[in-house]
Structure 1
Amino acid sequence: MNCQDIEKIGKIQSDRKTANEFYSKNSEVYRSFVSMERKTYSNGELEKRYKEMIAIGISIIINCESCLEWHIKEALRSGASEKQIIEAIEVGIEMGGGPATVSARFAMKVLKYYQQKA
């Protein structure tokens, strides 16, 4: 992983903190979104880690780097293994075809970033 990748991940984290200012500005829409997000990713019939891995596959397809940074971190926090996350990335590649390999490369950088921090 190079310095540009680390800086990119850090910028995504910083931008997310800035975006969360909506929450402190009493945005009902944003509060509703955060509430929905918490409910969506809570344990139910599917454990949180599996839901996070579904989100990783979708994030590959839609090429959402911010989503990948968040959901890989949350999958790891929820007990997902490296091999499980890689399989979720592979599902995204298969569902998204060739263009999804670009997002998959970024997802692998994010996984490595968090593994190096541990």
Structure 2
Amino acid sequence: MENLDKEKIERIVKTRKQANAYFTKRSKVFRTFCELEDQTYEAGALSVKEKRLIAIGIAVAINCESCMEWSIKQALEHGATAEEIVEAVDVAIEMRGGPATAFARFAMNVIEYYSTEPK
């Protein structure tokens, strides 16, 4: 992975954490949205891992790099493998077509980032 890609991922993580702290302190709507997220990703008929894999596919399809970073990290933490994440990306590529292949490049960098960095 290129150093610029690593720096980009680390910048996304840092900015996400800063924004989360900022809006959690100042925004009732943001806190309510976070509660919705918590409820959405509770295990039910689908496992947390399965829900996160769905989110990865959607994130790639809409080219949300911050969403890719967070969803991949969460999927890995809930037992997803790189191979499962790649299959979720494959579904996004098929559903979105050619542009998703370009968006998937960032997902690749996030997978590599979390696979090689100490946890």
After TM superposition, the score normalised by the length of structure 2 is 0.96
Paired amino acid for 1:22: F
Distance 2:84 2:106 in 1: 16
Q: 2:48 is matched with which residue?
A: 48
Structure 2 segments unaligned to the other structure (5+ residues): none
Aligned length: 117
Looking at structure 2, the residues matched to 103 and 49 of structure 1 have their Cα atoms a distance apart, in angstroms, of 21
Which blocks of at least 5 consecutive residues in structure 1 are unaligned? Answer: none
Tell me the equivalent position of 1:38: 38
Aligned to 1:22: 23
Partner SS state of residue 42, structure 1? coil
Deviation at 1:57, TM superposition (A): 0.4
Q: How does 1:91-102 map to 2 (within 5 A)?
A: 91-102=91-102
CA distance in 2, matches of 1:99, 1:88: 16
What amino acid does structure 1 have at the position aligned with 2:24?
A: Y
Distance between the aligned counterparts of 1:22 and 1:3, measured in 2? Answer: 30
- What TM-score do the two structures reach when normalised by structure 1? 0.97
Aligned equivalents of 1:33, 1:44: Cα separation in 2: 19
Considering only aligned residues, what root-mean-square deviation do their CA atoms show, in Å? 0.7
- What is the match of residue 79 of structure 2? 79
Stretches of 4+ moved more than 4 A in 1? none
In the aligned structure 2, how far is the partner of 1:82 from the partner of 1:18?
28
- For residues 28-71 of structure 1, the C-alpha deviation after alignment (integer angstroms, 9 at most, x for no partner) is 10011000000001111100000000000000110000000000
* Alignment partners' CA distance in 2, 1:80 and 1:10: 21
- Where 2:45 maps in the other structure, the secondary structure is coil
Q: Give 1:93's aligned amino acid.
A: I
Q: Please give the per-residue CA displacement for 1:52-96, whole angstroms capped at 9, x wherever unaligned.
A: 000000001100000000000000000011111110000000001
One-letter code aligned to 1:61: A
